[in-house]
Amino acid sequence: MKQIVVLASGRGSNFQAIVSAIQEDNIRAQCIALISDNPLAVAVDIARDANIPAHVLDFLSFPDKSAYEEALLYLLVQLNPDIIALAGYMRLLGDSIIQTFPDSIINIHPSLLPSFPGLHAQEQALRYGVKIAGCTVHFVTKDMDNGPVIMQRSVPVLDDDDKEHLADRILVEEHKALPEVLRLICEDRIRREGRKVTVLKNPSGFP
């Protein structure tokens, strides 16, 4: 059974979706830890309620980003997860972490990448005037929101949308996409060749 560590910075709704999917046996894995850079993150409370160890590395308590990254890498090496899932984690991972866990880190982003990377993706989409928005689960590389795409889910952009309403509808799809990708990874059904990611058909005998 694969072991998952989740990184989250805020309200933790995507983390809750992962926890629920594991509890319902939709993801055959164990979430061995939550790590947050924010001691006030609701995700920390979700972890504790689910009896998942919660590690808080308060970014503001470190002298600089390098010291924070060193502590984060040390903790991740100690935990030694099979998969690291970024679920609303609002910091870029350093190269040392990405190199230590190659092809093992995934992220959920609220746009159809490569369109609208970075912050405020929903607002970017509205300003650009697109008719379809959505979310992307991708492998994490050293370049922000530029890793190979694993899965995307879309929503229509309505004429009367504002960024909050669009974000809410995208979030519904995020809660489906991220657990689904984790399920597929835990069933050894994801293959990556360069930028191409393929979903295999049931190689491990799962239903």
CA atoms within 13 A on the CB side of 174: 24
Element (H, E) at 154: strand 149-156
Verify whether residue 138 is a known catalytic residue.
no
Q: How far apart are CA 128 and CA 177, in angstroms?
A: 24
- Tokens of residue 129, six digits: 């005037």
- Which of 109, 120, 138, 165 is catalytic? The answer is 109
On whether the CB atoms of residues 34 and 54 are closer than 8 A, the answer is: yes
3-state SS class at 108: strand
- DSSP 3-state percent helix, strand, coil across the chain (nearest 5): 35, 25, 40
On whether the CB atoms of residues 140 and 107 are closer than 8 A, the answer is: yes
Bridging pattern class, strands 105-109 and 132-139: antiparallel
List residues with catalytic annotation: 109
